[in-house]
Amino acid sequence: MDLMSKLTISASMLLTGFVIVFSVLIFLIFIIWVMGKIVTGAQNASANRKKIKVQKLDEKPEKVEIKKPAPVIKKPESPSGTPDEVIAVISAAVYSMYGSKQKVRIKSIKKSSSRSAWANAGVLRNTRPF
Amino acid sequence: MEIIERFLKAIEGIFTDSGIMTLGWQNYVMIGVACVLFYLAIKKEFEPLLLLPIAFGMLLVNLYPGITAAPDTTLMNAADCIAAKGTTEGYATTIINGVQYYNVPHYGGLFYYLYQGVKLGIYPPLIFLGVGAMTDFGPLIANPKSFILGAAAQIGIFITFIGAIFLGFTDAQSGAIGIIGGADGPTAIYVTTKLAPELLGSIAIAAYSYMALVPIIQPPIMRALTTKKERSVVMEQLRPVSKLEKIIFPIVIVVVISILLPDAAPLVGMLMFGNLLKESGVCDRLSKTAQNELMNIITIFLGTTVGATATGVNFLSFNTLKIIALGLIAFMMGSACGVLFGKVMYKLTGGKVNPLIGSAGVSAVPMAARVSQRVGQEENPGNFLLMHAMGPNVAGVIGSAVAAGVLLNVLR
């Protein structure tokens, strides 16, 4: 293969590869973007329809016999919004760590990060090898 | 006396057939290379699931080259054959000058038969089936722009093609060498078996070695091409992706790619089939089999038989050194192009994209994404780029399959 043919084949392959790979993948971006819009739109519309249906049922209670669900007794929550069960679990964990001899008072309970403990565990697991 | 004579003859025959008499120096060097790969796989844990079977295949073929021997037949005089074997049932006959001969079959070596799965292009798509069943395309669906980074990282393939052409390889061989830059083992094997099967051993070993060395090769390139400010960018959380989108995605991808690039259909088709098994949620058993048993069995067959192509005579040549050097260039170029396109996206989005995720475009799932995560955390320990890098990473798998389709279409 002489120099000229080497240059020709190299340039043509670079151009072909670059153009086709980018064109196909950019086309896929468009397709996936459209797919996302359609699916999200359809799902939102479906959710709205359900909402409207529920509202209509609420508006005409005399026509539709709906069994009233048992009244749900709202449990009081702490000022921070943390459910009592969670506070009880945390208190029990603190008690088991410090024991009854030390006087411990829990003043507040705050989330340490926006990520859940499970998400943190997952991230740690995925990044630990380094 | 006759007993002693027979005994000595038997000993002589065994000695003549033994490795001591039949193996050349190249085989002994390759046994040494196999031992180095054992060390890297077992002690250093460099891609052990593939490097270990490859090393063992390499060891076995250099100890006993007959394990890859192809089946053949020899002509044997009919009378002699009956006298020697007793039965000739099923043997084909040939008549030469009025004399009848039997075609006595000699069966091939074990690896000859197992290698057919590589030669016929069966194993790599099956590996892709398992990869698809294990991959979550959610980050890519949530941020389809990641496809750009997956495409950018494939540029290394075509730049290396040029290097290989100028180093004296044929165009088909150059295409097979360039695909190392895709950092995707099954794709590299698939393309090489179609374009340059004589280079399979060197290319497979180079591809898997560089994939194992991703955490060493990529970080210096990433740091050299980005500023501290760029590396510190914290990206916005990705939108949640619905189950319906995840189900439609593999179907759409396989339809689009198979229509546009039919040569990429076996790889992309099996990748997406595996993913559909997983995402559909109704084929749990099949999905688990693709991810575990099937994947493991194929990995064993693929690894050992690819390793068995690295015989001393094939592997110990100047071409292998050139392939290893070109493979490294391909890999580095792919990573660099990914980061550079990441920088372009950083500018275009007003600093919302961290360029470090660009290097994950070189497939090597999930290692390349983990490297982006690690380098990003060096600048900002609270920065979690992993899921953002998984987008370009899985886009790179599709991108390298598309690049493979281009190479096969143009060069075959």
In this predicted model, what pLDDT tens digit does every residue of B32-68 receive, in sequence order?
Answer: 999 999 998 999 888 788 889 999 999 999 999 999 9
What is the pLDDT, as a whole number, of residue A62?
Answer: 57
What is the pLDDT, as a whole number, of residue A50?
Answer: 85
Q: Quote ipTM for the complex.
A: 0.83
What is the pLDDT, as a whole number, of residue A67?
Answer: 66
Q: B127 and B327 in contact (C-beta within 8 Å)?
A: no
Measured in angstroms, the CA of A69 and the nearest CA of chain B are apart by 31
**Residue B79 — very low, low, confident or very high, per pLDDT cuts 50/70/90?**
confident
**pLDDT value at B133 more than 60:** yes
Among residues 189-228 of chain B, which lie with CB inside 8 Å of chain A? 215
Which range is least confidently modeled, A74-83, B288-297, B336-345, B346-355? A74-83
Q: In whole angstroms, what is the distance from residue B152 CA to residue B360 CA?
A: 10
Between β-strands B72-77 and B99-106, what pairing exists: parallel, antiparallel or unpaired? antiparallel
**pLDDT value at A127 more than 80:** no
In this predicted model, what pLDDT tens digit does every residue of B184-222 receive, in sequence order?
Answer: 889 999 999 999 999 998 898 888 888 888 888 999 999
What is the pLDDT, as a whole number, of residue B166?
Answer: 94
What is the pLDDT, as a whole number, of residue B235?
Answer: 92
Question: How many residue contacts between A and B have a Cβ separation below 8 Å?
Answer: 109
- Compute the average pLDDT of residues B303-329: 91
What is the pLDDT, as a whole number, of residue A130?
Answer: 47
Q: In whole angstroms, what is the distance from residue A39 CA to residue A51 CA?
A: 18
- Compute the average pLDDT of residues B123-139: 94
**Residue A72 — very low, low, confident or very high, per pLDDT cuts 50/70/90?**
low
Task: Sort B350 into a burial class: Cβ within 10 Å, 0-12 / 13-18 / 19+.
Answer: exposed
Torsion of CA B105, B108, B113, B114, to 10 degrees: 160
Rounded to two decimals, what is the model's pTM?
A: 0.79
What is the pLDDT, as a whole number, of residue A79?
Answer: 60
Q: List CB contacts (< 8 A) between B249 and chain A.
A: 32, 35
Whether residue A126 and residue B395 make contact (CB cut-off 8 A), yes or no, is no
Measured in angstroms, the CA of B279 and the nearest CA of chain A are apart by 16
Closest partner CB to A18 (pick from B158, B166, B244): B158
What is the pLDDT, as a whole number, of residue B243?
Answer: 92
What is the pLDDT, as a whole number, of residue B364?
Answer: 83
| Phi, psi for residue A38 in degrees, rounded to 5 | -60, -50
Residue of A nearest to B366 (CA): A126
What is the pLDDT, as a whole number, of residue A43?
Answer: 86
Sign of the torsion angle spanned by Cα atoms A75, A77, A81, A86? negative
**DSSP code for A79:** T
- Compute the average pLDDT of residues B284-296: 94
**Whether B242 contacts chain A with CB within 8 A:** yes
Interface of A with B (CB under 8 A): 1, 6, 9-10, 13-14, 16-18, 20-22, 24-29, 31-33, 35-36, 39-40, 43, 123, 126-127, 129-130
Q: B385 and B119 in contact (C-beta within 8 Å)?
A: no
